[in-house]
Structure 1
Amino acid sequence: MTITTTTDAYPTRLSSEPSVMPRQDKVVHGTAADGPFDAGALQHFEDTGYVLIDQLVTAEELAEMREELRRLSLDPAVRADERTVVEAKSQEVRSIFEVHKSSPLFRRIATDPRVVGRARQILGSDVYIHQSRVNFKPGFEGKEFSWHSDFETWHAEDGMPTPRAVSISISLTDNYSFNGPLMIMPGSHQQYVSCVGETPEDNYKSSLVMQGAGTPDKETLTRFADEYGIDVLEGKAGGAIMFDSNCMHASNGNVTPFPRSNVFIVFNSVENACGEPFAAPAPRPAFLGAREVEPVG
């Protein structure tokens, strides 16, 4: 099932000047009675745009996922697949997309009630997987991810109507303050940044390696950092971070010997299915933004 969208509540990439507008949609749609998160965790998500889960998977599951990650990274067929992104200079694997379809193991974790139940609770509906991937940030070689809002890209290039989507990042390695962990500007999810510059054709081919269109301007990012601050999200392997689709977030490069890898799954409400892109010539491939709505869990 897909829907066609006709109005744009979050315009972007249409002007020569960036702008900021208040979020027009709810953040948390469910209650503490609807799932695993208690009232305190839901309030933290409402206020900051994210919540930490100290331990989501078992040590045995973590070991299995690490071995699967190693297998995928060494498989020549996986490396040659269009769903795999490699670093331009080092030729190291950066991300492998749609892993819930290519790996039965990651399919199991992506549809696990521990994961899906939390997404349903926050979004207040059945959910489907908009995107999945594993990210590699190897020691000494891992590159940075610049500041951005995922929703801005999903809205502009995938046709996602509203920010009624959440991401979960499951840590396969320890996240230290110094090996390129996720950074979030807490509270930034309540503001939407309209970016400048038209979306080039097939923009995804370059943006997955180095983001261009959809990058917020430095003045807005400076103002956001002054207003909201920056939380550096450390945590042990096996834990997870769930965060709102409109959070301003980034991660530094990794110059340490300690690798950082994670499983990243995006859940969208079935009531927020994507239509035509709002600011791109054509939708991105389905492995980046699902076009079919298949409820999970």
Structure 2
Amino acid sequence: MDMQVKDLYPSRTGGEARWLPRVDPVVWGSADQNKDDYTLNQQQLDSFDENGFIILEGAAEDLVAPIQEELTAMKERLKGREEMVIEPDSEELRSLFQPHFFSDFIHKVARDPRMINIARQLLNDDVYMHQSRVNVKPGMKGRSFPWHSDFETWHVEDGMPQMRAVTGWIMLTENDPFNGPLFLIPGSHKHYLSCAGTTPEDNYKMSLRKQEAGTPNVESLDWLIKEGGGLAGAFGKPGTIVFHESNIMHGSPDNLASYPRTNLFFVYNSVKNACKAPFSGQKPRPSFLASRDTTPLEPLKEPLK
């Protein structure tokens, strides 16, 4: 590991789970910076700072159909590739990584001002794409994602130094209480859980299908839920945009409905927060999970039509 980079958030070091202080801001920018029709107002920024996420109902309804068309074609082209991850107990598609790399249109979606302008405002910096993915939960067969902090994984396994990243995502189908929606613990982003255990070699080969390393114990979750005042669900119609903070504790249950739940995720990272060597001391994960291309994304001047 690069000895010049201090590990502010050690985790999976072989000891027991423990709480560490968060030393980074939640909101790096302000309502006055990069202010336009597509950024958040002060009330929305305050809500994000307090809760760790924000839901913008129906903000991208016009993008749903063309994105779905792109994904249908992409699934056929990418069959058999490592970017296509299947469910742990079936051959159903679970995740498709790096869709912005394989589709010019989806790359433009990532740079649509409805997405990137908010990311740049929250992080107060130019941003690059650390990771993009589509998570698919087919009806009755889509399996859960356990409680976890994305930042804990990106820090330990990718070498992301600080909490200066944010995930912006678009609901491509309705997300309701029954089809395996994302649940979050409001306020949990203000606390960093250093997880017990260590990281297996090539952990991603298992964790993308069923994550175990870097997940919290029951006692830690119970404290977070009580401290934060409960749970919240990210529900909405197709085209709803959600932004959530990199360290917020979140997860999703099995899809119990007969219809799917599909979402497109973009992980924006500050160019000043580029990944170094993984803090686990292991080799970096593949670039489709953690891009080393830190070229700033150029925002589109107008929303896609």
TM-score by length of 1: 0.95
CA distance in 2, matches of 1:53, 1:273: 28
Runs of 5+ consecutive residues of structure 2 not aligned to the other structure:
300-305
Q: Indicate conservation of the 8 Å contact 1:4/1:276, yes or no.
A: no
Matched residue, 2:54: 51
Matched residue, 1:72: 74
CA distance in 2, matches of 1:168, 1:271: 19
Q: Indicate conservation of the 8 Å contact 2:74/2:102, yes or no.
A: no
Q: Deviations over 1:188-228 (max 9, x none)?
A: 00000001121111110000000021111111011112222
Matched residue, 1:278: 279
CA distance in 2, matches of 1:83, 1:10: 28
Matched residue, 1:252: 253
Aligned length: 292
Q: Secondary structure at the match of 1:235?
A: coil
Matched residue, 1:31: 30
Aligned Cα root-mean-square deviation (Å): 1.3
Poorly superposed stretches of 4+, deviation over 4 Å: none
Q: Secondary structure at the match of 1:107?
A: helix
Matched residue, 2:8: 9
Q: Deviations over 1:73-131 (max 9, x none)?
A: 3x1x4121111101132110111111110112211101112211000000000000000
Confirm whether residue 111 of structure 1 aligns to residue 114 of structure 2.
no
Alignment of 1:160-175 (within 5 A): 160-175=160-175
Q: Indicate conservation of the 8 Å contact 1:201/1:280, yes or no.
A: no
Q: Secondary structure at the match of 1:170?
A: strand
Runs of 5+ consecutive residues of structure 1 not aligned to the other structure:
none
CA distance in 2, matches of 1:22, 1:265: 27
For residue 15 of structure 1, report the CA deviation from its aligned partner: 3.2
Q: Give the letter for the 2:265 counterpart.
A: F
For residue 58 of structure 1, report the CA deviation from its aligned partner: 3.6
For residue 245 of structure 1, report the CA deviation from its aligned partner: 0.2
CA distance in 2, matches of 1:289, 1:189: 21
Q: Secondary structure at the match of 1:215?
A: coil
Q: Secondary structure at the match of 2:151?
A: helix
Q: Give the letter for the 2:17 counterpart.
A: P
For residue 280 of structure 1, report the CA deviation from its aligned partner: 4.2
Matched residue, 1:41: 44
Q: Indicate conservation of the 8 Å contact 1:4/1:274, yes or no.
A: no
For residue 253 of structure 1, report the CA deviation from its aligned partner: 0.7
Over the matched positions of the two proteins, sequence identity in percent amounts to: 45
Alignment of 1:36-185 (within 5 A): 36-59=39-62, 61-73=63-75, 75=76, 77-185=77-185
Q: Give the letter for the 2:40 counterpart.
A: F
Q: Indicate conservation of the 8 Å contact 2:144/2:254, yes or no.
A: yes
CA distance in 2, matches of 1:184, 1:18: 20
Q: Indicate conservation of the 8 Å contact 1:183/1:233, yes or no.
A: yes
User: Closer, same or farther in 2 for the Cα pair 1:208/1:5, shift >3 Å?
Assistant: farther
Q: Give the letter for the 2:53 counterpart.
A: Y
